[in-house]
Amino acid sequence: MGQIHKWTFVLCLAVLICSIFEMTSPNGKMQNVLRFVLGIFLLCAIIVPISDVNFKNTYFKKINLQKTNQQETELKQEVENQTLNLAKKRLKDLAANTLLQENIEAEEIEIFMDIKEEGSISIKKIRVILEKRSEEKINKAKGVLKKELGIEDIEVSLKLD
């Protein structure tokens, strides 16, 4: 609604300016040229504000906004995945180093994690697979990992061939 008031004001101002020029101009050959120029000026005063209302531009802005929201969601998902993978790698390295300090060599370490809605990472489970001849080290590995990592759900098993 404010744009209509603005357009009306500009139009009235243009008509006033045209009227003042026409009243102050001398009669004669220049009067026709001046009327032509003032007519063009008045047409421009009418058309220019209307051309500023660009419906296509508004439509494209909405499309770009939707694209931006989609890209933001994809980027957020990518960041979450990278964070989860990095946390898994760090935890896997920490578990491997903790076991090595106790002279226990793990063949494979799997970390099961989730990212909750509020963005926190929860560790669901750690699975450690030891080499075949390390049966006596299963309980020791479980105890060491529970103590050092503070995770209750730790599964330690032997490698199956």
What is d(CA 53, CA 6) in angstroms, rounded to the nearest whole number? 13
Mean pLDDT, residues 102-125: 82
The distance from CA 155 to its chain's CA centroid, rounded to whole angstroms, is: 38
DSSP labels, 12-73: HHHHHHHHHHHHHSPSSHHHHHHHHHHHHHHHHHHHHHHHH--HHHHHHHHHHHHHHHHHHH
Q: Which residue from 102, 101, 103, 99 is spatially nearest to 127, judged by alpha carbons?
A: 99
What are the boundaries of each domain within the chain?
2-53, 86-158
What is d(CA 121, CA 82) in angstroms, rounded to the nearest whole number? 12
- Structurally, at CATH architecture level, domain 86-158 sits in 2-Layer Sandwich (3.30)
What is the pTM for the complete model shown? Answer: 0.54
pLDDT in tens, 43-82: 888 887 776 655 555 555 566 667 777 888 888 888 888 8
Q: What is the pLDDT of residue 53?
A: 58
Q: What is the pLDDT of residue 145?
A: 83
**Phi, psi angle pair for 79, to nearest 5°:** -65, -40
Q: What is the pLDDT of residue 129?
A: 85
